[in-house]
Amino acid sequence: MSSIVDDYVRLTPRSREHFERSRAVVPAGATRSLNSWLPHPVYVRGGKGPLVWDIDGREYVDFLNNYTALIHGHAHPAVTAAISERLESGTSFGFSTELEATLAALLVERVPSVERVRFTGSGSEAVMFALRLARAFTGRMRVAKMEGGFHGAQDDVMVSVRPPPAQAGPIAQPAALPETHGLPPGLAERVLVLPFNHVDETTALIEAHAGELSAVIVEPMLGVGGMIPPVPGYLARLRELCTTHGILLIFDEVISLRLAPGGGQELYQVTPDLTVMGKIIGGGLPVGAVGGRADVMALLEPRGGHDMYDPRAGGPALYQGGTFTGNPLTLAAGLATLRELTPDRLASLDALGDELRRRIADLLGRLGAPVTVTGAGSLFTIHMTGGPLRTFREVRRADSVLQQGLFLGLLNEGVMLAPRGMGSLSTQTTALHVDRLVDAVGRVISNLCDGGAARGARG
Ligand SMILES: Cc1ncc(COP(=O)(O)O)c(C=O)c1O
């Protein structure tokens, strides 16, 4: 492990220098909590297709793709052309452009549950508005989310994302733990935490609290929490419980939308009431969207007033908006991206993802290393713990020091993943890039585990 850190420091001196400079004006030297780590982050100069270069001039195969957002890699010609073309006509306006309805229609066509769409500036904002819609529609104030579920930065979902096992409580009643300093009090009253993939415990919790719940929000496949697919029947049970008790089922498909043309809901054949989208639908520019049932989305229709307070209806309208929401650059980039993402291209991408997970699993088997690869389609995570991993608490067993070693070791090898071992493919990833990842994982894990079985299988 120490040799990995030494190599990393030796290979990235400019990033080190920049880190020191940046910290003087940017806390932690990065404007996104995830982008800073010890001993120092790598700073990027640019990228093209599947590759990224850092400010030391090193090249990486990018399996992070900005946390799964860049489904066509960096600076894809069709996406770049769409942005350049729109750029000439202005970057944002106080009125809507026709592009909103064009991209919305494409999403309505592809995503089974989506009848109407509103765009937002980010996935986090989309979650905030989806929860607001659910509260307004049901008249109930509490929301249920999964332990290990990540839904962005806003207060009501920064709860039990990576809870410390010692404080997480029994599986039949997971604790609602703050994920960050600075949350307002009353978390447990506002948020019910459910154990993903535990069908009976989830059922009992929802039934016990049904009358208070406005929504159950869930990623069809746990994303940041470890790329854990749902066990058969889990999402269908959530659907059934929500229907029975008048609770809105919200699928957060910010990551999982790439699992099929219609996202995780198409793949797993369960239809939510509302869907949160983001990442790939903005073609690499800031984006989010809420879509869903026409009757729920109708709460956003004007009720007579033109401002936040609606005099004719005698109360406030449901507010949603943002200065850069639906800006034409994002919408043009998103349209170009989704049009390039034909069902055939998506199928090839998924096949390469299957191949990647199979080869890593074979390698880990040969090495005899207590390491597991999970995921579906073009999404994967390498966990520094033995499998199988079906629940978040199993994922949480991963050794965080070894996980950091894997991340830094792969950067030394010229391969970019998320610090937690999460990765994704883009349509620019080829079998040769997968070879490079598999070889690099073999070398780094042999070094980290350094056991007899691991050494024997090296090379
Ligand atoms: C499932 C999920 N929901 C919401 C978000 C928040 O999106 P954004 O980072 O655009 O605010 C993320 C971001 O990674 C995510 O993975």
Residue with tokens 């073009």: 378
Phi/psi at 204 (5° precision): -60, -40
Query: Would you say the C-alpha torsion 417, 421, 425, 431 has a positive or negative sign?
Result: positive
The CA 394 to ligand 1 mean position distance, Å, reads 23
What pLDDT does 312 receive? 61
Q: Which residue's alpha carbon is at the smallest distance from atom 2 of ligand 1? A: 151
Pairing of β 213-218 and β 248-252: parallel
> Structural domain boundaries of the chain?
2-71+342-457, 77-340
77 CA distance to ligand 1 middle (Å) = 25
Burial (CB count <10 Å: 0-12, 13-18, 19+), residue 305: middle
Please tell me whether residue 423 adopts helix, strand or coil conformation.
strand
> Ligand 1 site: residues with CB under 6 angstroms?
67, 122-124, 127, 150-152, 219, 223-224, 252, 254-255, 278, 288
What's residue 302's pLDDT?
A: 73
Helices 13-23 and 2-11 sit at what angle, rounded to 10 degrees? 80
Q: Which CATH architecture has domain 77-340?
A: 3-Layer(aba) Sandwich (3.40)
- How much distance in Å is there from the Cα of 255 to the middle of ligand 1? 7
pLDDT at 1: 76
**Residue segments in the chain with a per-residue pLDDT below the cut of 70:** 303-316, 451-459
Return d(Cα 67, Cα 71) in angstroms, integer. 10
Q: What are the residues whose beta carbons fall under 8 Å from the beta carbon of 315, sequence distance 6 or more? A: 309
The pTM (predicted TM-score) of the whole model is 0.96
Written as six digits, the tokens of 374 are 């999970």
Type of residue found at 149: G
Q: Are 150 and 144 in contact (CB under 8 A)?
A: no
**Contact of 203 with 234, CB cutoff 8 Å:** no
| Atom from ligand 1 closest to the CA of residue 124 | 11
Query: What pLDDT digit, counting tens, does each position of 288-317 carry?
Result: 999 999 999 999 987 655 555 665 666 667
Q: Which atom of ligand 1 is nearest to the CA of 69?
A: 14
User: Is there a contact between 40 and 12 (Cβ–Cβ < 8 Å)?
Assistant: yes
Spatial contact of 282 and 333, defined as CB atoms under 8 Å apart = yes
> Nearest CA to 228 among 271, 198, 269?
198
Q: Which atom of ligand 1 is nearest to the CA of 149?
A: 1
- The single-letter DSSP state of residue 245 is H
Instruction: State residue 307's pLDDT score.
Output: 56
348 Cβ contact partners less than 8 Å away, ≥ 6 residues apart: 427
- Give pLDDT tens digits for 116-130: 999 999 999 999 999
Superfamily of domain 2-71+342-457, CATH level 4? Aspartate Aminotransferase, domain 1 (3.90.1150.10)
CB neighbour class for 183 (10 Å; exposed up to 12, middle 13-18, buried from 19): middle
Mutate to test the pocket of ligand 1, among 124, 253, 290, 381 (most ligand atoms within 8 A of CB): 124
